[in-house]
Structure formats: structure tokens, C-alpha cells
Chains A and B, each alone.
Chain A
Amino acid sequence: MTGPRPLPGRSLQARLTVFYATGIFLAGIVVLAIVTIPLAGIQSTIPAHSPAPAAITGTGDGIGPHQLLVGSAVALVVLIPIAVGGGWFVAGRFLRPLRAITATAKAISAGNLDQRLDLGEPVDELTELGHILDDLFARLEASFNAQRHFVANASHELRTPLAGLRTLLEVTLADPDADTGTLRSACEEALTLGEHQERLVQALLALATSERGVTRWDTLDLAQVVTGVLVSRRDPATQKGINLAEHLTPAVTAGDPRLIESLVANLIDNAIRHNHPDGHIHVTTQTSGAHVVLTVTNSGPVVPEDQLQRLFQPFQRLSPGRNNHAGHGLGLAIVNAVTQAHHATLTTTARSQGGLTVTVRFAPRLPPYRRDVTQGMRRSIAPHQNQQVKTHADGHRPTPHQAQTE
């Protein structure tokens, strides 16, 4: 907050009034001029020595041009306050909805994002502005709510293991009879909790990075990325008795290699984590028409159709509860964010026999000139991202185990 601003007052209404009154006043003068100038001419056309025979017309002396001029001048002077008053009233009437918009908008910006302007009839330029502002407030509210929800969830996910770690250590240290075995097992548990926290922070970072958007467009082959990721995933899969099969054909596209690797790693980790013992995972990459397609199919628990969308929101899991073996509920959110950053399409189907089929369809590889154009545009739009583009270009290619997974 920058402190109270000086009130705008009614300067617009005053200006409109002055404008209106001046207009009327000028119109009056013009009318007067139009009337008076011909009259001045008439005066000279009356022949000298033959005064108008008033008796003939029977209209009396009449009023002369001079009297007419004075009368009009008085009328003009009287017109000024009437014009100012009328102008003030009319301007006030038309500005009333605008004042309502200002007052409500002020209240809304003070923190009541749930308020709306709700301008009714008549439909005019101002009500249209009101509707546009209402839409804007609705979107802002939704986005703030999502943000608040995310922060609350993140703080919950971070604080609970911290509380666990602290209590574990405090209780163990306070035990006067603690022997080496007790201390050792407490330390091992503390380490596991630490690793859990580390993975969570990494996943949060990966999500933040992917939501920032793509900072470099490199040509890459999805088949190679998948092969790289699978190297470090075979052992965990084998330990759980999961059959990990792949069918990889060249699928060349453009994108940020780190983000795409994170997408692939999270999809496969998710498929391993939410699977049956003796289940299976099938990964395919292929070029289908103009598109490049990655598909991961896995067995696992049955996912209700109405829960599918929820799973791609941060911190949403199919089964509630936290423990060290389940994920943090960020894996599919990262997949979703990376997909959106690459303007790819994500299709998820819940298999009737259990498990999921996730398909990511990338746009075809952009021709080199298009990529240059895209990068040029990015540079001109966001000069601060220049640095990142450069660092990435100078930097190393990510190795499979560096992929940030949930």
C-alpha cells in the first residue's frame, strides 16, 4: 500500500459541466448574432422621414433592435447558471455508474476479491466496462485462490515431515536409557525423512521451472530421452516385480531437454509407484502423421473417471494420506505443466482393468528458421531471459539421473 492517494473529487464532472455550459453559451451567442445582424440591416432600410406608421399596423411602437439586443443579452446572462446547473446534473447522472465502479473497484482492491460490480441495465459503454472488470476480478480471484491453496498445501507438506523430524530427534535425545541401537535407528529414520524432504523440494523446483515456460527450443529425439530415463528406472521396477517394456521409434521434436526429461521421468516414476506387484508398464514413442507421440501405459489400481482431472493438480493423490513411500502428489502436475509449456496435448485414459494410459502429443519439429524466429521473439519479449538461454546453451546436457522427478 502506498498510503492514501488524494481523492480525485469531481473534476471530470466539473469539466463536463464547463464544457456543456460553454457550448450552450456559445450557441446562445451564435443565435443572438444570427438574429441581430439581419435586424441591424433592416434598421437601415427604413426610409428617413417616413417613420413606420404604427397606427396602420396597430402594433404600437414595437421594440427596436436596441431593446432586442439588451433583452437577448439579459437572457444570455440568465442562461449561464441554468446551463451550469443543468450541465452539472446531466454530467452527474452519466458519471454515476462510473463512480459506483470506482467505489466497488476500490473495495475489491482492498482485498474483497469476492465482490462484483454487477452493473445491470441499461447496457451501455459503462456497463460493458463493468462486465469486463467483473470477468477480470473473477479470474484474479480464481488464480489467487489457486495460489493460496497451493501455498497452504506446500506448507503442509513441508511442515509435517519437519515436525516429525524434530519430534523424533527430541524424543530420542530425551531418552536417558537410549542405547546405540535406538540412536542408530532414529538417525536412519531422520535420514529417510531428510531424503523425502529433498525430493519434495526438488519436485517443487521442477514444477516452478516448468510453469515458467520453455526457455530454449532444442531438437531432440523422444526415443533417446526415454532410453536415458529408463536406465535408472529398471532396477526400481524390477524390485517391485514390474515388467517394464518399451517400443521406441524415432520421434524428433523441439523442446527444452531438461523439461522433457523431467516429464518422461515423472510419467515413468508415477507408473512404477502406482502399480501392482507383478504389474506392467509399456512405453512407446512414435511419429504419427505430423505429430510426435509419447505413450505410457501402466497397470495399477482402478482410477475413477471423475478423478482423472484432479490428479493433474498439485498435491492431489488418488488415495489420501502421507507416508514415505507414496509421492507428494506433484509428479503429474509437473507433467501437466511441461506439456502446457510446450503447447503439447495431454490425453489421459483410465483403463477399465486398472491403471492409466497417458499420451503426450507434441507438435512436429519446428523448421530451423521458425525456431530462430521463436527464439528471436523470446529475446525481444523477455530480455531478462536472454541470460538463461545463453547459460543453457553453454551448459551441459542433463544426464538421466539429474532429471528432477517427484
Chain B
Amino acid sequence: MRVLVVEDFEVLARSIGTGLRREGMAVDVALDGTAAYDRLAVTRYDVVILDRDLPGVHGDEICRQLADNRCASRVLMLTASDTIEDRVHGLGLGADDYLPKPFAFAELVARVRALARRAVPPLPPTLVCGDITLDPARRLVFRAGRRLELSPKEFALLECLLAAPGLVISAEELLERVWDEAADPFTSAVKHTVHRLRAKLGDPSVIETVREGGYRIGSP
């Protein structure tokens, strides 16, 4: 899952980034509105965590544009003002959710996950394909009832493939969705992670390599 954190208070932005990465998400951080625009223009984010009072371009403006462009990104607004009028106004601009500061980090994670579930088509809270079960909130993966220990990247990659059963997902897309912008586009990280994931999942192999295409889980 790819997340963009837009927040001008650096300590907060950095801490959210660290925390979400530990939850297996690929996180980019923008410290002002202009940087947020630049990132939104090149990357498709699943969730955007947006502070309202931003230097550069105001958070409200970014939110309005995302909604106007019918962007697939879900917007979680973070703000210091928590009056009912403010919340109503924020949601009216097109935000999908609203979280007043200060917040509990666990709640932020739960809300980001809830927003990611609202992808089109909506995803169930637990992803199932054959005898593989993946629970994103509790970060658990089972194969035929046996629990598997996966690294954050392996987990996120499997989550990505399971979210689109039967569809081919290219290595480039996996790189964009699972790794953050620090990743080298010519890296073979995807290939290696798929290799390790296959080993951990065991036989029979479920991840199918499609030549010149990418990877697939489940029958087409």
C-alpha cells in the first residue's frame, strides 16, 4: 500500500512515516503543499494523509483538486481544529475521513487501513485466495492453517497480489505500490522478494510469473 504523508511539522511527518513503514506500507513524506502536488502528479497513492494548514498550497485546496479529478487516492485529513463545523467543512471538500490532532497512532493506522479497503472494487478485511489467508490489520498470513513469518516487503507484495486475484500485476506497479520513492526503478528487488515469498509460501506454488507481464495469484 502506498501512502503519502503531507504535514509541515517535520517531527510529526517523520514519525508518522516511520510508524507506517513499520506497518508494511510504502510511505512518502511531503513537508508542504507544493511538494505534495509534485508527488501526487507522478505516483498513484492509495491513501493521502493530509494536514489542512499547509504552507505553499493549502490542504483544503489539495483535497478539493483530488476530489475534482476523481482521484483514486483516499484522503485522510489531519487537523488541529476539531470543531464540528471544521469537520463538516473538511468532509464536504471531499476528504474521506477526518482525524483531529493529537491522535493515537494505532487509530491513525486503523483509519488508513479502513480507507485502503475502500478501493474500487472494495476489498474485504481479510484477503483469501485458495488456502492462503492474509489479515492486513493484524498482519498475519496463513497457508492451510499454518502461520507464515513474512518480512514487511514480502507481506505488502503478497497483499498487493491478493487484492487483485487472477489479474497480472507488473513488476513496475509492484515496485510503485510496495516500495517508496527511495527505490531504484531498475532494481531487481521485486524479483528477489517474489523469490523469497515463493519459498516461504511453499508448495504448490501460487505466484505465477507471466512472461513479459508480471505476476499473478489465482486462476485468470
Asked if chains A and B come from one complex, the reply is yes
Task: Tell me the complex Cα distance, A386–B16, Å.
Answer: 51
Contact A160/B9 with A167-B105, A170-B104 known, Cβ cut-off 8 Å:
yes
Query: How far is A369 from B137 in the complex, measured between Cα atoms in Å?
Result: 76
Is A373 part of the contact surface with B, judged by Cβ < 8 Å? Answer: no
In chain B between 71 and 109, which residues have their CB closer than 8 angstroms to a CB of chain A?
78, 80-81, 100-106, 108
Q: Give the residues in chain B near A193, CB-CB below 8 Å.
A: 11
Cβ < 8 Å to A, chain B residues 1-59: 8-12, 15-16, 18-19, 22, 31-32, 51, 53, 55-56
In the complex, A159→B81 CA distance in Å? 9
- Chain B's closest residue to A161 (CB) is B9
B55→A159 contact, CB < 8 A? no
Contact of B80 among A160, A165, A171, A320 (CB under 8 A): A160
Q: Of A152, A155, A171, A322, which one neighbours B8 at CB under 8 angstroms?
A: A322
Kindly provide the distance from the CB of B218 to the nearest chain A CB, expressed in whole angstroms.
33
- The proximity string for A residues 167-191 relative to B, scoring 1 for CB distances below 8 Å and 0 otherwise, is 1101110110000000000000100
Q: Which residues of A contact B105 (CB under 8 A)?
A: 166-167, 170-171, 174
A321 CB within 8 Å of chain B: yes
Which residue of chain A lies nearest to B58 when distances are taken between CB atoms in the complex? A320
B residues sitting closer than 8 Å to A (CB atoms) are 8-12, 15-16, 18-19, 22, 31-32, 51, 53, 55-56, 78, 80-81, 100-106, 108
Measured in the bound complex, the distance between the Cα atoms of B31 and A164 in whole Å is: 14
Q: Are A189 and B11 in contact (CB under 8 A)?
A: yes
Q: Would A174 and B32 be within 8 Å (CB), given that A159-B80, A159-B102, A162-B101 are in contact?
A: no
Can you list 23 A-B pairs, Cβ within 8 angstroms, ordered by A? A152-B81, A156-B80, A159-B100, A160-B51, A160-B80, A160-B101, A161-B11, A163-B12, A163-B102, A164-B15, A165-B11, A167-B12, A167-B108, A168-B15, A170-B104, A171-B15, A174-B22, A174-B105, A321-B31, A322-B8, A322-B9, A323-B8, A324-B11
Please, which residues of chain B bring their CB within 8 A of the CB of A319?
A: 55
Given A163-B103, A174-B105, A320 and B19 contact (CB-CB distance below 8 Å): no
Residues of B within 8 A of A157 (CB): 80
B179 to chain A, nearest CB (A): 20
Q: How many Å lie between the Cα of A167 and that of B102 in the bound state? A: 8
**Docked-complex contact B19 and A171, CB < 8 angstroms:** yes
Asked if A164 meets B12 with Cβ closer than 8 Å, knowing A159-B80, A320-B55, the reply is yes
Given A155-B81, A170-B104, residue A323 in contact with residue B15 (CB < 8 A):
no
Contact A166 B19 (CB under 8 A): no
Query: Distance in Å from the Cβ of B63 to the closest Cβ of chain A?
Result: 17
| Residues of chain B with a CB closer than 8 A to A152's CB | 81
Chain A residue, CB-CB nearest to B102: A163
List of 10 A-B pairs having minimum Cβ-Cβ separation, nearest first: A320-B55, A164-B12, A163-B101, A163-B102, A171-B19, A159-B80, A156-B80, A321-B55, A167-B15, A164-B11
Closest A residue to B86 using CB positions: A152
- A-side residues, CB < 8 A to B, are 152, 155-168, 170-172, 174-175, 189, 193, 319-324
List residues of chain A with CB within 8 A of the CB of B8.
Answer: 321-323
Give A163 Cβ to nearest chain B Cβ, in Å: 4
Neighbouring A residues of B106 by C-beta, 8 Å? 170
- Rounded to whole Å, the gap between the CB of A367 and the closest CB of chain B is 50
> Complex: how many Å from CA A165 to CA B32?
20
Return chain B residues, CB-CB under 8 Å to A159.
Answer: 80, 100-102
A155 and B101 CA atoms in complex are apart in Å by 10
Contact between B81 and A167 (Cβ–Cβ < 8 Å)? no
Given known A-B contacts A159-B80, A323-B10, A167 and B55 have beta carbons under 8 A apart? no
* A residues near B104, Cβ cutoff 8 Å: 166, 170
Bound-state Cα–Cα, A152 to B83, Å? 10
- In whole angstroms, what is the CA distance A152 to B80 when docked? 8
Nearest CB on A from B151, distance (A): 13
With CB as the reference atom, state the residue of chain A lying closest to B79.
A156
Cα–Cα, bound, A158→B100 (Å)? 13
Shortest Cβ gap from B150 to chain A (Å): 16
In the complex formed, the residue of A with least CB distance to B51 is A160
Q: How far is the CA of A321 from the CA of B12 in the complex (A)?
A: 13
Q: Which residue of B lies closest to A164 (CB)?
A: B12
Q: In whole angstroms, what is the CA distance A193 to B9 when docked?
A: 11
Q: Which of A158, A167, A171, A321 has the most chain B CB atoms inside 10 A of its CB? A: A167
A residues near B108, Cβ cutoff 8 Å: 167
Q: Say how far A42's CB is from chain B's closest CB, in angstroms.
A: 84
Collect the chain A residues with CB atoms within 8 Å of residue B51's CB: 160
Chain B residue at smallest Cβ distance from A319: B55
Task: Tell me, in angstroms, the Cα distance from A175 to B106 when the chains sit together.
Answer: 13
Write the chain A residue with the least CB distance to B108. A167
A155-B80, A171-B105, A321-B32 in contact; A164/B9 too (CB < 8 A)? yes
> Nearest chain-A residue to B55 (Cβ)?
A320
Cα–Cα, bound, A163→B9 (Å):
10
Inter-chain pairs besides A159-B102, A164-B11, 8 sampled, C-beta below 8 Å? A157-B80, A160-B51, A163-B103, A166-B105, A170-B105, A171-B105, A175-B22, A321-B8
Chain A residues contacting B18 (CB-CB under 8 Å) are: 171
Closest to B100 in A: A159
B152: min CB distance to chain A, Å: 12
- Give, as a whole number of angstroms, the nearest-CB distance from B18 to chain A: 5
